Amino acid sequence: MGPLHGLKVLEFPAIGPVPFCAMLLADLGATVLRVDREEDAGLGIERPRRFQISHRGRKVLKLDLKKPQTLKLAKVLIERTDVLIEGFRPSVMERLGLGPEVCLGINPRLIYGRMTGWGQTGPLAASAGHDINYIALTGALDSIGRRDQPPTPPLNLVGDFGGGSLYLALGILSALWERHSSGRGQIVDAAIIDGTLWLLSGHIGMVAAGLSKGQRGANMLDSGSPFYDVYACADGRWFAVGALEDKFFAQLVAKVGLDAEIALQQKRDDWPSLRSALKEAFSKKDAEAWRAVFDSTDCFGTIVNSLVETVPDPHLGAPHAFIELGGVIQPAPALRFSRSAPGTPRAPSAQNTADEALADWVDPETLQSLKENGAWKA
């Protein structure tokens, strides 16, 4: 049933980090209801519903929140929920009549989660943006890529999901814990720029300590060091090496068959010659052959899988790593609990009626009254 069984979450329409955060909570057992727009807003990357993996695990109710009767329904739901999540630009929920002050007035125990890119205040607060913009402003994007090459956008993992979804989920669970003692709800304001900077704490510390040059592709963990990088193999596949510690570096030298003189070249000035030696060595065998070589070591050398190669991988293909929902193979809920294991999530393509969506939230009498008043499109 999952450790969050019994928790009710109301998700308002958004893209990217908000649906992913709602998916995390649903995967862990929360009952999540997504209040969606009646008409598509044309945001995000369009694809069939069954491939929208972050929309799994909940029922959907389509509403026009600008209608008074629909607003009444929204307030009925807010009265009965534990958590509200929204990802509109600042003040949109207030203009709809569903801002934090109103909602906490209806339900003083409510945890009101707000997800924005730029934050609720500041020069850019009302501006549109995407992951690439948020990580650009925070310095994360400038830190990722090869030396003397443009910054490399790292999918939308760092900002949207790392600095956004995960921190919003952490904030919500923290507020729920605090509610146990206070009995009161509160606002959780999560901005992607803030979360991204938080993620960067370790690297910012390395720059401050002089251990990083502040130039991408020239440092220990950003492809600058030859013993923390990827190398092309004879078959065109790539092999990743992470031999930071002396004992792993010694194993790397032995497994690859480098000369003893090369093995001493761990200093920054020696990195170019060491990289050349590693490139030449890895180019002589296929990736699977290198996997076999490194299988007998502590794991600091791995094949670089493409996304389509992850399912058949002998380690990732182990039980519980993937599930199939609606004909789509996808990652299973990642956390594993000894007692309260989550169930199989509802497929994102699963259909439901408004009555079915509301069945967990309102009693039949209230449901009938709201229906007769036209709270949603039949």
Looking at the structure, do residues 60 and 154 belong to the same domain, yes or no? Answer: yes
The tally of domains found in the chain comes to: 2
In whole angstroms, how far apart are CA 17 and each of 12, 139, 177, 279, 301? 12, 20, 22, 38, 32
Looking at the structure, do residues 129 and 256 belong to the same domain, yes or no? Answer: no
Supply the pLDDT for residue 277: 92
Looking at the structure, do residues 175 and 284 belong to the same domain, yes or no? Answer: no
Instruction: Indicate which CATH number applies to the domain containing 186.
Output: 3.40.50.10540
Domain's final residue, options 254, 280, 309: 309
Burial class (CB in 10 A: 0-12, 13-18, 19+), 165: buried
Rounded CA separation 279/292 (Å): 18
**pLDDT < 50 positions in the chain:** none
Supply the pLDDT for residue 259: 80
Supply the pLDDT for residue 265: 58
Looking at the structure, do residues 22 and 60 belong to the same domain, yes or no? Answer: yes
- Count of CB atoms within 10 A of residue 119's CB? 16
Domain's final residue, options 285, 309, 333: 309
Using a cut of 0.85, tell me whether the model's pTM lies above it.
Answer: yes
Return the active site residues. Answer: 130, 160
Looking at the structure, do residues 163 and 284 belong to the same domain, yes or no? Answer: no
Supply the pLDDT for residue 264: 64
Rounded CA separation 69/369 (Å): 11
3-state SS assignment for residue 177: helix
Looking at the structure, do residues 289 and 150 belong to the same domain, yes or no? Answer: no
Looking at the structure, do residues 14 and 130 belong to the same domain, yes or no? Answer: yes
Domain holding 110, by residue range, is: 8-199+322-372
Residues in a beta bridge with 13: none
Looking at the structure, do residues 36 and 97 belong to the same domain, yes or no? Answer: yes
Supply the pLDDT for residue 37: 85
Instruction: Indicate which CATH number applies to the domain containing 232.
Output: 3.30.1540.10
Q: Per the domain annotation, does 210 fall within a domain?
A: no
Backbone φ and ψ of 346, nearest 5°? -70, 135
Q: Per the domain annotation, does 219 fall within a domain?
A: no
